[in-house]
Structure 1
Amino acid sequence: MRITTFFLLIFTGILAGCNSKGEPVEFTKACDQANEKKVIELTGFIRDKGGVFCSNIGGGRLECGFTLTTQLGEETGVKAEIEQGTGANTVEKLPSGFKKEDIRIHDNNGDIIALSDKVKLTGKMSIGPNSTPCFMQVTKIEK
Structure 2
Amino acid sequence: MNKFIKAIAATALLSAAACSDVPMAIKASDICNKENKDVLVTTEGVIQLPDSFYTTGGSITMAFEAPAGKYRIPALHIYTANKSGEKKNMMEPLNEGFTEADVKIYDDKGGMIKLGDKIRVTGEVWGGSKEWCEISVEKIEKIN
TM-score normalised over the length of structure 1: 0.72
* SS state at 1:110 partner: coil
Quote the Cα distance in structure 1 between the aligned partners of 2:53 and 2:44: 20
Q: Which residue of 2 aligns with 1:49?
A: 50
How far did 1:110 drift? Answer: 0.6
Aligned structure 1 segments of 4 or more residues deviating by more than 4 angstroms: none
Q: Deviations over 1:63-83 (max 9, x none)?
A: 1010111xxxx2563111000
* SS state at 1:64 partner: strand
Q: Deviations over 1:17-53 (max 9, x none)?
A: xxx7521102221012111101101110112225542
- Number of residue pairs aligned between Structure 1 and Structure 2: 114
Given the superposition, is the C-alpha separation of residues 50 and 100 from structure 1 closer, same or farther in structure 2, using an over 3 Å criterion?
farther
RMSD: 1.8
Quote the Cα distance in structure 2 between the aligned partners of 1:87 and 1:36: 28
How far did 1:95 drift? Answer: 2.5
Q: Which residue of 2 aligns with 1:63?
A: 59
Given the superposition, is the C-alpha separation of residues 132 and 51 from structure 1 closer, same or farther in structure 2, using an over 3 Å criterion?
closer
Given the superposition, is the C-alpha separation of residues 21 and 119 from structure 1 closer, same or farther in structure 2, using an over 3 Å criterion?
farther
Q: Which residue of 2 aligns with 1:89?
A: 89
Q: Share of identical aligned residues, percent?
A: 24
Quote the Cα distance in structure 2 between the aligned partners of 1:35 and 1:124: 9
Quote the Cα distance in structure 1 between the aligned partners of 2:37 and 2:92: 28
The unaligned stretches of length 5 or more in structure 1 are: 1-19, 57-61
Given the superposition, is the C-alpha separation of residues 21 and 114 from structure 1 closer, same or farther in structure 2, using an over 3 Å criterion?
farther
The unaligned stretches of length 5 or more in structure 2 are: 1-20
Given the superposition, is the C-alpha separation of residues 87 and 67 from structure 1 closer, same or farther in structure 2, using an over 3 Å criterion?
same
TM-score normalised over the length of structure 2: 0.71
